[in-house]
């Protein structure tokens, strides 16, 4: 099913992001975690595309499996790093043949050791160009990425949003945000996007902090602001893994509660292929607000 059709039935969606497991052991672990998450009856799930297309085969195999064997509504991520138009056409045709109807279309990051993104000859410079191409040639429901705390390469949030408008004009049906921790930044972003003429669903991307070393990792990865009060609390308990988990979980529950109460159209969880935190957040929220 196209996720855009699902939106007509579900005012609020709950979705999960997975990455393709690296080896047999991770695959077993993945199966256990997906089993737990399926009990939550997600609206849809998404599967990432490794940097530079490194997981292409596994990404395609996993979306095929999750959608066609497990029966989940699935969205494949796809980046245009190192991809010519011909290659994109072949890859997207392959996904059509697998019955995949939903795509998250991304530019991708420059390869390791390269500072700037360089489009290959006859390739795409920005996600909006890839979006326009897919819109013209195929019939997918299409999603794009956006950045509440601004994309790291963009000089200002306003400029980033101006470019984001090109992505929605090019055919993006909805957007999912990069992870963030300051809800006020999400609502500021929604306001600025609306003023820039972006009116599609913008689903917040949520990641619960479950270990101390994730603070640095998440900040580096996304440039997301982590509230000072949360960092202080985590610092205080940095040698107590259980306390860190519960502080991170409590923060996430409050974050999700506030987002939904103030009109966010859903929650998209970056699960890191783990189920425990997402299941606990759901259990808590479902008791409170009946999701």
Q: Which residues are catalytic?
A: 17
**Within 245-274, which residues bind ligand FAD (CB under 6 A)?**
none
Query: Which range touches ligand FAD (CB under 6 A), out of 31-39, 43-51, 192-200, 248-256?
Result: 43-51
Choose, by CB under 6 A, the member of 103, 127, 244, 256 that binds ligand FAD: 127
Residue (of 217, 219, 237) closest to 227 by Cα position: 219
Q: Tell me: does residue 108 bind ligand FAD (CB under 6 A).
A: yes
Rounded-to-integer distance, Cα 193 and Cα 67, Å: 32
Q: Minimum CB separation from ligand FAD for residue 127, in Å? A: 3
Helix axes 241-261, 228-236, angle to 10 degrees: 160
Q: Which is nearer to ligand FAD, 39 or 152 (CB)?
A: 152
Q: Minimum CB separation from ligand FAD for residue 63, in Å? A: 12
Q: For 25, phi and psi rounded to 5 degrees?
A: -65, -45
**Within 64-93, which residues bind ligand FAD (CB under 6 A)?**
77, 79
Q: Which is nearer to ligand FAD, 201 or 284 (CB)?
A: 201
**Within 171-190, which residues bind ligand FAD (CB under 6 A)?**
176, 178
Q: Tell me: does residue 151 bind ligand FAD (CB under 6 A).
A: yes
Choose, by CB under 6 A, the member of 6, 154, 200, 279 that binds ligand FAD: 154
Q: Tell me: does residue 142 bind ligand FAD (CB under 6 A).
A: no
Rounded-to-integer distance, Cα 267 and Cα 120, Å: 35
Q: Tell me: does residue 223 bind ligand FAD (CB under 6 A).
A: no
Q: Tell me: does residue 192 bind ligand FAD (CB under 6 A).
A: no
Q: Tell me: does residue 145 bind ligand FAD (CB under 6 A).
A: yes
Choose, by CB under 6 A, the member of 13, 33, 48, 183 that binds ligand FAD: 48
Q: Which is nearer to ligand FAD, 207 or 209 (CB)?
A: 207
Residues in contact with ligand FAD by the rule CB under 6 A: 48-49, 51, 77, 79, 104, 106-109, 126-128, 145, 151, 153-154, 160, 163, 166-167, 176, 178, 205
């Amino acid at each position: 099913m196209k996720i855009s059709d699902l939106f007509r039935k579900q005012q609020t969606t709950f979705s999960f992001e997975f990455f393709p497991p690296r080896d047999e052991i991770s695959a077993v672990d993945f199966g256990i975690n997906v089993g737990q998450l399926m009990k939550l009856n997600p609206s849809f799930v998404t599967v990432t595309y490794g940097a530079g297309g490194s997981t292409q085969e596994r990404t395609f195999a996993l979306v095929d499996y999750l959608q066609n064997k497990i029966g989940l509504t699935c969205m494949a991520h796809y980046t245009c790093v190192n991809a010519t138009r011909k290659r994109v056409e072949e890859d997207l045709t392959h996904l059509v043949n697998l019955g995949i109807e939903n795509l998250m279309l991304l530019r991708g990051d420059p390869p390791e050791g390269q500072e700037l993104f360089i489009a290959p000859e006859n390739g795409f410079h920005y996600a909006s160009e890839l979006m326009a191409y897919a819109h013209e040639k195929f019939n997918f429901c299409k999603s794009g990425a956006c950045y509440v705390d601004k994309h790291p390469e963009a000089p200002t949030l306003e400029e980033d949003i101006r470019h984001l408008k090109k992505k929605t004009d090019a055919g993006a049906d909805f957007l999912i945000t990069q992870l963030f921790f300051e809800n006020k930044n999400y609502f500021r972003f929604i306001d600025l996007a609306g003023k820039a003429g972006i009116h599609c669903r913008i689903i917040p991307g949520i990641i619960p902090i479950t270990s101390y070393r994730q603070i640095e990792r998440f900040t580096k990865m996304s440039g997301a602001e982590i509230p000072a009060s949360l960092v202080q609390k985590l610092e205080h308990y940095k040698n107590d893994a259980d306390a860190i988990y519960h502080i991170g979980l409590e923060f996430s529950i409050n974050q999700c509660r506030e987002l939904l109460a103030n009109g966010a159209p859903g929650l998209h969880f970056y699960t890191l292929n783990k189920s425990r935190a997402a299941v606990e957040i759901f259990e808590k929220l479902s008791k409170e607000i009946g999701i």
